[in-house]
Structure 1
Amino acid sequence: MLQNNSELKSKIDQLWNKFWSGGISNPLTAIEQITYLLFMKRLDELDQKRKADAEWTGENYTSKFEGQWIPPEYRNQSEPEKFAIDKRTLRWSEFKRMQAEEMLQHVQGKVFPFLKDLNGAESNFTHHMKNAVFIIPKAALLVEAVKTIDDIFAVMEKDSQEKGQAFQDIQGDVYEFLLSEIATAGKNGQFRTPRHIIKLMADLVQPQLGHRIADPACGTGGFLLGAYQYIITELAKKAGAKDLAPDEDGFIRTSVAASLTEKAQAILQQSLYGYDIDATMVRLGLMNLMMHGIDEPNIDYQDTLSKSYSEESAYDVVLANPPFTGSIDKGDINEALQLSTTKTELLFVENIYRLLKKGGTACVIVPQGVLFSSGKAFKDLRQILVERCDLKAIITLPSGVFKPYAGVSTAILLFTKVWGAKDKITKPATENVWFYEMVADGYSLDDKRNKQQGYGDLQDIINQYHARDAATDTDRTAKYFMVPRSEIADEKNNFDLSLSRYKTDVFEEVHYDAPDVILDRLIQAEVGNLDEAELAKLQSGIVRDLLDLKGMLG
């Protein structure tokens, strides 16, 4: 969306430049501080909208900005009411009218502490916000940032009205664009997953209301948000929603959950679970989901590969892009993980298998080396996927998908857990594996990743996957085809899952002209547009050499 709205992109660039010139040059620090401001703005707008909706429908709604707020440090004193703050003054729409120095002191000393305490002392959000700090150092920077964010929201509202896109979708695009600016991404194999790839994976898995959905390395919560948007879009369709047009990647999505029943909303709130080992990412993920209407996200600080994490057979769906090329201290690896390795790309896939309920489905991005590397741990993992799971699909992605962070070649694994780790296998779970070679994802595969015309292979992958048929998908010269498990597991292939192992290459015979004909063309190209004087000069150089070469060829 931002590629098509130069005004919005310009405003966001202005915001980055203001933070840079204001002394906050670390991108991760800047995005965290910007997120706090976006959250304050969005919180005020959502609250006012819900209040207005409640007045219209006659429902009861208690505003987050009604009454008094007593900071936690004063609650145990003899007269805590002396320290009470009128919540109305904590609204964005109220404090943005203050003078510069007054605004800075008010946001630092009152608004931000209120934000940290927003969901109550016992909430997951408050727990993870405990160590968060507001470090915008200058009043002038805060004033400029507040003004620019107001401008950004105004442009988003205009874009929403003119182009019919849900406001929350646009706001999500803006937030994702800000996240994409984190220059530290790409270290230790941590890459932000493009939103259209997340949407593709959600359409492949098709999560349903009531499913427990997890991402064991969730970062900013992109996959959880992708699953949430898929579910509420399907619910909106069933409720009769119209005018849901495909987005620029061909996906139909809405973030508007207003049509959900109270029961459905409650189910969704308890459906999404994310974990990450970076405290900053946990906070960003919490606020990302909250800005999309999920009031109390279940995102937690946790190393899901370590001994301290004991969940298993707990989730119906796992969507993930776990860290690549990293490693973990051998002594801290959970004993339930059986692979003899410290490579995180292998351990995460085994752990995802462990986290799935029987019948649960995972869609996971892995480096392509996982598909063919000859090490014992690699082969053992592939054997688990083929024999203990129904390995439904392997979709190879072009190497530019994760640019500008990295040019690593990746693939999507789609599998359903059939046999538990301790079950005796009476029959291998996989019958056939569907392979698809994605060539284009609708964006240029260079560092700029500009939007191209059309959807690339995205929609074809979804259509062909859901229509796949072992009896008809047999042409191994095509983009997609089926391979039987017996062939994958035989002695020759030994559980190799690389697409190139099974694809049949088609070689087209090319006919070339004789050398003297080619030389005649080269000579003609050199002399064709020259006058006699220029030709005389040129004939002492390249043309003479070509004529000599032609003479040698006879």
Structure 2
Amino acid sequence: MSNISGFIKRLRDIMRNDAGINGDAQRIEQIAWLLFLKVYDTKEQDWEFEDEKYQSIIPEPCRWRNWAHEESGKGMTGDALMNFVNNILFSVLKGKDIKDPNGNILIKGIQVDPTTPIKKAIVKTTFEDANTYMKDGVLLRQVISVIDELDLSDYEESHAFGEIYETILRELQSAGSSGEFYTPRAVTDFMAKMINPQVGEHCADFACGTGGFLISWLKELETKKKNTDDVEKIYNSIYGIEKKQFPYILCVTNMLLHDVDTPQIYYGNSLLQNILDYTDKDKFDVVLMNPPYGGNEKADVKNHFPSDLASSETADLFMSVIMYRLKENGRAAVILPDGFLFGTDNAKVSIKKKLLSDFNLHTVIRMPGSVFAPYTSITTNILFFDKTRPTKETWFYRLDMPQGYKHFSKTKPMKLEHFTPAMEWWNNREEIIVDDAPKAKKYTVEEIAALGYNIDLCGFPHEEEEILAPQDLIQQYREKRASLDANIDRVLAEIMTLLGNKE
């Protein structure tokens, strides 16, 4: 077995010497497409074994085994390798034909259409906007050789590499803005556990990033399979869509590594369809999500939403998508920032009114501020709701920092065991008061309405002023200003009504 534990370090040490690699994000992106081709080639060996008529969508010269695998005798290096990758491999995988000087086609670019099986179509969508950064062919050869050492056909090594892949994904948190695509595994595992998946149900994530929620969903279902039919149902139970190329590649590779041979992961933007157009076939039993937040969408995106729900805040828009795509009796667990809870601007109030009147918002878990550090220090929450009946009451539970932790960090990340108090409370709910402030409390829908739909309840006592990163601070100020403006407008409207009644 190759030295899997040192895998990342070996790649990093080689790539540091390449002038084309500028920072962690580019390094991981370069590794991402190489890993995809290696993993895909291993999968193709399985598919060829299962079906002797299997034909790869990748032309022979561009299959990993025929250009990257050194034992094939065709392993290139130096300028020849750089020329092949830049001018042949990427062109072919993006769908462009390679021609000789007379215009004759030497290698046909891969093409997909609606009839192309998912497991083949993913190759083209994976490379549509992919980039290669390395400039030194000798160093690139060294990187390829390290990746090619992985024996993913060996069960133990493949399983061990699955753990290493999680390390790669965790590294995204420190790779600049790419951290937004990774939700700590402890959080996704907790949410999947509480949602209690059943074999035969379908789960969606409409901004799936690297696929963490879908993997946690699969992991929970693994314990419930009883026969081979169940296995097939489980692997076909996930749906993801991701609008950014880099996490899309990581997600598809993640699914292949977890034996999902036909990953229903799509490259696109969930906000670009009019939500009123969704039909029952577009709906799911379960939604698990951490919608992107802090972003502002363009006016044309807002046109896909009813005017009262047309917020400019990305997380708000995703909440509407979730509500319109959840089946009757369906369940959802969604991570949202504090701004959604305390926001009382028109769009947020409309979304919360719809959530409480059309869904049963039964639980809100308030999470500590550093769960997503270092990417963001904005405090986040998990909303659990289902489409069974209107909300009558909502429980709020504050998850405090575990003993001995001042905050979570890269070296001290959140673990599933830190959710133990919440899990113990979940099945035996009672109000908890700590230092005269509620840590867990139930509020009726009438009480929530009386608060103007500000559901910033059972929050953290702020003993000291929290120092936020500039972008987080700006976002928080925007949210609070919008909420304040909405309150002022409401009070002015009430005053005008009273004055009108006196006249």
Q: TM (normalized to structure 2)?
A: 0.73
Question: Which has the greater radius of gyration?
Answer: 1
For residues 313-370 of structure 1, give each alpha carbon's deviation from its aligned partner in whole angstroms, at most 9, with x where no partner exists.
5111111111112121233321346325212222211221111111111111111121
Structure 1 window deviating more from structure 2 (200-209 vs 17-26): it is 17-26
Q: Which residue identity lines up with residue 387 of structure 1 in the other structure?
A: S
Q: 2:458 aligns with which of 463, 486, 500?
A: 500
Q: How does 1:354-373 map to 2 (within 5 A)?
A: 354-373=324-343
Q: Which residue of 2 aligns with 1:25?
A: 22
Correspondence for 1:282 among 239, 248, 252: 248
2: distance between equivalents of 1:369 and 1:355? 23
Distance across 2 between alignment mates of 1:488 and 1:114? 61
Change (3 A) 1:441 1:361: farther
Shift in CA distance, 70/385, structure 1 to aligned 2, threshold 3 Å: closer
1:263-342 to 2 correspondences below 5 Å: 263-307=229-273, 310-311=277-278, 313=280, 314-333=283-302, 334-336=304-306, 338-342=308-312
Structure 2 partner of 1:489: 448
- Judged with a 3 Å threshold, the aligned counterparts in structure 2 of structure 1 residues 234 and 462 are, in CA distance, closer, same or farther, namely farther
Given that 1:305 and 1:351 are in contact with CA atoms closer than 8 Å, whether structure 2 keeps it comes out as yes
How far apart are 1:198 and its partner, in Å? 0.8
Matches within 5 A, 1:394-409: 394-409=364-379
TM-superposed deviation, 1:411:
0.5
Q: Given residue 333 of structure 2, which amino acid in structure 1 is its aligned partner? A: C
The answer as to whether partners of 2:333 and 2:383 remain within 8 angstroms in 1 is yes
Aligned mates of 1:111, 1:438 — CA distance in 2: 50
Change in 2 beyond 3 A, CA 1:311/1:9: farther
Give the Å deviation of 1:118. Answer: 8.5
Relative distance call for 1:108 and 1:234 in structure 2 (3 A) is farther
Q: Aligned residue for 1:346?
A: 316
Q: Which of 347, 352, 367 does residue 382 from structure 1 map onto?
A: 352
Q: Is the 8 A contact 2:186 2:416 kept in 1?
A: no
Query: C-alpha deviations, 1:146-179, integer Å up to 9, x for none?
Result: 343356x489989x68xxx943542432332343
Per-residue CA deviations over 1:55-93 (Å, capped at 9, x if unaligned) read xxxxx44497xx89884xxxxxxxxxxx98898535746
Whole-Å separation in 2 of the counterparts to 1:111 and 1:168 = 26
Give the secondary-structure state (helix, strand or coil) at the position aligned to 1:234.
coil
CA distance in 2, matches of 1:87, 1:144: 15
Return the offset for 1:103.
5.3
- Native 8 Å contact 1:286 1:299 kept in 2: yes
Cα gap change, 1:379/1:33 in structure 2, threshold over 3 Å: closer, same or farther? Answer: same
Query: For the Cα contact (< 8 Å) 1:442–1:456, is it kept in 2?
Result: no
3-state SS of paired residue (1:323): coil
In 2, Cα distance between equivalents of 1:219 and 1:344? 15
Aligned length: 432
Q: 5+ unaligned residues in a row in structure 2: which ranges? A: 95-108, 463-503
* 1:468 corresponds to which of 428, 433, 437: 428
Code of the aligned partner of 1:451? K
Distance 1:360 1:142, change over 3 A: same
1:201 to 183, 187, 191: 191
Contact residue 274 and residue 298 of structure 1 kept, 8 A: yes
After alignment, is 475-484 or 364-373 more displaced?
A: 475-484
Say whether the 8 Å CA contact 1:432–1:484 is kept in structure 2: yes
**Could you report, residue by residue, the CA deviation over 1:419-439 in whole angstroms, capped at 9, with x for unpaired residues?**
6xxxxxxxxx22332222112
Q: Percent identical across equivalent pairs?
A: 25
* Greater RCO (Cα-Cα under 8 Å, separation 6 or more): 2
Residue 42 of structure 1 aligns with an amino acid whose one-letter code is V
Q: One-letter code of the match for 2:432? A: D
2:38 aligns to what?
Answer: 41
Note the alpha carbon deviations across 1:191-231, whole angstroms, 9 max, x for none. Answer: 52111111111111122222221111112222222212222
CA deviation digits over 1:482-538, x for unaligned, max 9? 4142553353x333322337x999xxxxxxxxxxxxxxxxxxxxxxxxxxxxxxxxx
CA distance in structure 2 between the aligned counterparts of 1:326 and 1:382, rounded to whole angstroms: 19
1:443/1:450 contact within 8 Å kept = no
Q: What does 1:117-196 align with in structure 2 at a 5 Å threshold?
A: 122=116, 123=118, 124-128=121-125, 129-149=127-147, 153=150, 166-167=159-160, 169-185=162-178, 190=180, 192-196=182-186
2:393 paired residue among 432, 457, 465: 432
AA of the residue aligned to 1:32: E
Check the 8 A contact 1:275/1:303 in 2, yes or no.
yes
User: Secondary structure of the residue that 2:223 maps to in structure 1?
Assistant: helix
In 2, are the aligned partners of 1:395 and 1:438 still within 8 Å (CA)?
yes
Indicate if the aligned counterparts of 1:337 and 1:350 stay in contact, CA closer than 8 A.
no
What CA distance in whole angstroms lies between the structure 1 residues aligned with 2:403 and 2:222? Answer: 25
Question: Unpaired segments of 5 or more residues in structure 1?
Answer: 1-6, 55-59, 72-82, 240-259, 420-428, 506-554
Q: Cα distance, 1:444 vs. partner?
A: 5.4
> Letter of the aligned partner of 2:393 in structure 1?
N
Q: Structure 1 474/397 Cα, relative in aligned 2: closer, same or farther at 3 Å?
A: closer
Find the counterpart in structure 2 of residue 94 from structure 1.
71
Q: Map of 1:226-237 to 2, 5 A cutoff?
A: 226-235=216-225
Q: 2:242 corresponds to which letter in structure 1?
A: D
